[in-house]
Each structure stands twice: as structure tokens, then as C-alpha cells.
Structure 1
Amino acid sequence: MAESREHTFTGTRGRVTVREWPHDDPRYIALLCHGYGEHIGRYEYVADRLVRHGAAVYGPDHMGHGRSEGERVLIDDYEDVVTDVHTVEERARAEHPGVPVVLIGHSMGGMIAARYAQRYGSGLTALVLSGPVIGEWQVLTELLAYPEPPDTPIDPATLSRDLSVGAAYGEDPLVWHGPFKRRTLEALSSMLDTIRKSGTLGALPTLWIHGEDDQLVPPAGSRIGIEAARGTDFTERIYPAARHEVFNETNKDEVLDDVTTFLTRTLP
């Protein structure tokens, strides 16, 4: 695996920890946005593939996640998370002037990435959305019906057909295994509404990848948001029988081949 290092910065709501997978002479910068309750350390395999493809890779632990500060999984405003990711981009650009930037987001990170592209898309060369929470997410509606969300842990078996992925997830001390926070759900709902109202992605090359058997973020709900936000350069890949974490699936090399092929096409 590619070597990595960490640094921290003062984000909008406290200290944010960023992991970097450096490249001495990168063709591009890849920004990674992880999903709800997890952390960027679960993306070692993805980062390794991207480094071998020519990228310098950067990814923060979002506020309240992983090694970053904040009450666990509490996010009051996702715009703050987008701002923190932009700080990561600014550092990456300072270290690699003139190098194009691509953004890759998974699940909740896909929602963050979509909003990021609406705010800062003029500086991006490409966008990859993996199993994104965008459009309509039935889980959100169900959980917001409760004054306090019930403690219904994620079934690790829904992550990947490779059951070792779920086992590692269940034993990972940096993964949140408790209930959703209502304030986080309300902020998530507000962000979905903001994305709906904020227009399309224009000419930004966008790749949507999703597991056909994703029970956590079903593709039908995401498609509603994708169709509303997609721009003029759009590609989709729906993987038969794949579950939520396509980057950790049994066909993860096929998925990452599709991602790197897409990026090769879009890079100048």
C-alpha cells in the first residue's frame, strides 16, 4: 500500500485531521470524502490505486468523525464540512501548483461532494459520486419521525459481499456504532434540500457509481437527485448484486478500473 502521513488544521468547528498519500510528481490531486460514521483510514485501498494511477491523494476525517474533533457524528451544518474540504483542497494546491483536482465522495461523502461541486466546481476537473446520499433517502424520513432516533445499528453484511469488510467495520474503534443524532439528520435533510435548489453540475465531468443491491442507500432514491443535478458530461455505472461500499466490494478492482478510466478521459 502507498505510504501515508497525517496533518491537522483548525476547521470551522475544531481541529480536523487529514490523511495524505503523497506522490512526488502527480498528474492530478484526488480529494476523498468518506461516509457517515466512518473515517478516511478505511480508504487505503482506494488511495493506493489512485496513487499508482498518478494522484496525490488527500482526505479529511469530517468533523465528529475519526481522529477529528467534535462530538461523535454530530454535524449541525454540512456547509461547514464543505468549507473544511475546501481548506484541504487549498493546501493540496499549494503543495502542487497547477495540478488538476478531482473529487471523490462516498455515501454521505457523495452528498458533501455534490454540494462541493455546486460551490467550488469551477476549480474541479472531475467528480465521482459513489452510492451518494442525494435525492430521496427513505431512511432519513423514517428516522426523523422520532423525537430521538432509535439505536438501529448498520448491519455490516449490507456493506459488501466480502463479509470480512463488515467484520472489520464492526471491530473498528474509529467507526461510530451508535444511533444517529437528530441534529445531524436535520442538517442532512437541509443539505439535500439545498442541493435540489442549487442547480445542475453544468459541464463538470461526473461519474455516478452505485451497487444495484445497495440496501443502505438504494439507487432508486439517489437517481432522483442525480437526474436533477447531473450536467452535460455524465456517466453512470450500476454494478449488479453489489452492495453499499462498491470500493470494498468483491469486484472493487473493476470499480476502480472504471474510476481511473473515467479520470484518464477527463484529465487534461
Structure 2
Amino acid sequence: MTGSREHVLDGRTVREWPHPGPRCVVLVVHGYGEHAGRYAELAGVLTAYGAAVYGPDHVGHGRSAGERVLIEDFEDVVADVHRTAELARAAHPGLPLVLVGHSMGGLIAARYAQRHRDELSALVLSGPVIGVWELPGRLLALDEIPDTPISPSALSRDPAVGAAYAADPLVWHGPMKRPTLEAFVRTLDAVAEGGDVGDLPVLWLHGDDDRLVPLPGSRIGVERLSGGRLTERIFPGARHEVFNETCKAEVFAEVTGFLDRTLPR
């Protein structure tokens, strides 16, 4: 796999996995509390496929500036992802642009697709936080947000994934913050009210044992977001991070097969 390099845009760190002659550009939008560097294996699959891959660290995440995991407005994060897209398009003008969003990144990617649909050739959502997600409401009802970090075992059936996550100094292991939870609620509503993405091809990937972002709630949002060109792939027994699951070879094949069917030759 080609090595990665970093760019800094307005205090946001963007990781790039370059390709010398790409056929498309893929933006990877990471989830809550983590960072783009955790997607190196996916990026390797995509660069082998022929993509130039870019992944921004969101505000307050990874190597980017800002108070840890504090997101006051996801519309600002969408704008940050758009700046990453502009960086990628400047380097690779005229190539198809694909957005891949995982978990919270799926929420950001869905909102991006609503706002910038005409700039995209395809959308991939992995365990996306859209539709009905009850966690923010439950936590906001409490006087104090409990310090209950994400359980590494909820990510994957592969124990090495959880161990690496727990040991990663760029991952946030503390409590969620009230302004971020409030922003989740507002943006879930905004995506629900923002309409579908028309004829944009959408690939939805989800584990049927995802306890962090339960599948039934996401289904409501995905079906509302899709304009009709939806490919659904549910993986039996898989947990939240399908790109890091024991069936990841199958997941990667679904992504590259979807791109083959979707992107121009």
C-alpha cells in the first residue's frame, strides 16, 4: 500500500493515501471519538482499486485542533469535509468523487450528500447514525453525562481491533459532551427533513449485531435518504465496525464491486 501523508486545512488534519494515476477520489469520513488513521486498511483496498483516498480528522478528533470530541454544529463539519473535497478535486480534477461515512461519519456524509449531491458520484454508509438513534436523548435527559466510554468489544468480533482501539492515544476514551449530543439531535432532524439524494447511488453496510448504532433505527434513515438507487448489505453477526470485522474481506469486496457497477469506465 502506498504510504500516507498529511495536510493541514484551517487547523484540520487531512490524511491522504495517494495514487499515481487514480480513476476516482474517495473521501473517508470517520466516526465519533476516532480518527482517519484507523481507516488505513480500507484506504489500502481503495488505492489498490485505483482511488486516491483522503480522510479528514474532524474538529476535536485525532490530530485536528479543538476541544476533544466537542462538536457544536455538524454543519461546520460538513463544511470541513467539503474543504477536503476541494483539496482532492484540485489535485485530481474531473475524477468521480465518492464519499464513505462510518457511524457519526455516516451522519456527516448523509448531510453532505443532501447539500452537495451534484458533486458526488456515489455514497457509502457504514453503520450510519441516521434515522432513529436513541442514545443522545437518553443521555441528555440525565443531569450529568456518565463517563461510560465505548466498549472496545462492541466494535468487532476480532479482539485485536478492540485492543488496538483501547491503546490508541488519538482515540477519545472519556464521556460524551452535552453540546455534541445536542448537535447530534439537531442533525438527525436536519437529515430527516433534508430530503432524499435523488439518483445518487447509495451502498449501505451494517452488522446485524451492531449494538452501538442498531440496524432498525438506521434503516429508517437510509430508506428515507435514498432516492431509489440503494444497495443494502447486512452482515450476519457483525458488530459496529464492518471494515474491521472478521468478514472484512467480504465487506471490502462489496465496496469495490459497488464502485465497479457505479463509476464510469
TM-score bin (small chain): over 0.9
Counterpart of 2:196 in structure 1 is 200
Say if 2:240 is the partner of 1:240: no
Per the alignment, residue 153 of structure 2 pairs with 157
Letter in 2 for 1:87: R
Equivalent of 2:25, from 11, 29, 37?
A: 29
Q: Contact conserved, 1:148 with 1:181, CA < 8 A, in 2?
A: no
Q: Return the alpha-carbon distance in structure 1 between the equivalents of residues 144 and 99 of structure 2.
A: 34
Q: Which residues of 2 match residues 6-45 of structure 1 at below 5 A?
A: 6-10=6-10, 15-45=11-41
- Relative to the length of structure 1, the TM-score reads 0.97
| Unmatched segments (≥5 aa) in structure 1 | none
Task: Give secondary structure in 1 for the equivalent of 2:26.
Answer: strand
Would you say the 8 A contact 1:2–1:47 is kept in 2? no
The C-alpha deviation readout for 1:73-92, integer Å capped at 9, x for no partner, is: 00000000000000000010
Name the CA distance, whole Å, in 2 between partners of 1:192 and 1:252.
Answer: 28
Partners of 2:66 and 2:190 in 1: how far apart?
24
The answer to whether the Cα contact below 8 Å between 2:2 and 2:19 also exists between their aligned partners in 1 is no
CA RMSD of aligned residues (A): 0.7
Q: Using the alignment, how far apart are the partners of 1:148 and 1:75 within structure 2?
A: 18
Q: Which residue in the other structure is 1:185 paired with?
A: 181
Alignment of 1:2-151 (within 5 A): 2-10=2-10, 15-151=11-147
SS in 1 for 2:38: helix
Q: How far is the alpha carbon of 1:232 from its aligned partner?
A: 1.8
Secondary structure class of the residue paired with 1:160: coil
Query: After the TM superposition, which of the residue ranges 17-26 and 133-142 deviates more from structure 2?
Result: 133-142
In the TM superposition, what is the alpha-carbon distance from 1:264 to its structure 2 partner? Answer: 0.9
Question: 1:5 & 1:229 partners in 2: Cα distance?
Answer: 33
CA contact (8 A) 1:40 1:60 kept: yes
Confirm or deny: 8 A CA contact 2:127 2:213 kept in the other structure.
Answer: yes
Q: Tell me the distance in 1 between the aligned counterparts of 2:88 and 2:155.
A: 30
Aligned length: 264
Q: Tell which deviates more after alignment, 186-195 or 140-149.
A: 140-149
Which one-letter code corresponds to 1:187 in the other structure?
Answer: A
Partners of 1:147 and 1:9 in 2: CA distance: 37
SS at match of 1:103: strand
Q: Deviation at 1:148?
A: 2.8
Instruction: Report % sequence identity.
Output: 64
Q: What residue is the counterpart of 2:252 in the other structure?
A: 256
Q: Is the 8 A contact 1:134 1:222 kept in 2?
A: yes
Deviations 1:165-196 (A, max 9, x none): 00110010000000000000000110000001
Distance in 2 separating the partners of 1:39 and 1:168: 13
SS of 1:36's equivalent in the other structure is coil
